[in-house]
Amino acid sequence: MAKATASKSRTRRASAPEIRLTGDRIVVEEPDDGERKTRGGLLIPATAAQAPKRCVWGEVTLVGPDVRSVKTGDRILYLPQAGLEVDLDGRECLLLRERDVQAVSSPPAAGREREPGQYL
């Protein structure tokens, strides 16, 4: 029976490897922006769209040990061309450096909803 238990623990480790990032690296899950619609309602397929020259929001899935301003679960604003494409567990992700992050949006505290800002 000891052998059966040991083999089960090996299969668990093989299915979910631990990933540790180095330095100031951040892994962001890419948003699914395949097809887009114009303001007029025209559908632009992903193959016809030009590379975006605008920043996009993405959710942080992993952070390196030297990252100071971003935590796992935060949403960050970044330029997609700044990162390297990575496949993690079948998900398309981007590997970025902390200096490529333009803005950070932390999730609201537990039990609190976001309140609108004060208008002047």
pTM here is 0.62
Closest by CA to 83, choosing from 92, 95, 98, is: 95
Q: What is the pLDDT along the chain (120 residues), one digit of tens a residue?
A: 444 444 444 444 445 568 888 889 999 987 766 667 778 888 777 666 566 678 888 999 999 999 999 999 999 999 888 889 988 888 889 999 999 999 998 776 665 665 666 665
How is the chain split into domains, by residue range? 22-105
Question: With respect to CATH, is domain 22-105 assigned 3.20.20.220?
Answer: no
* Distance of alpha carbon 42 from alpha carbon 104, whole angstroms: 32
* Distance of alpha carbon 24 from alpha carbon 98, whole angstroms: 6
* Distance of alpha carbon 104 from alpha carbon 76, whole angstroms: 5
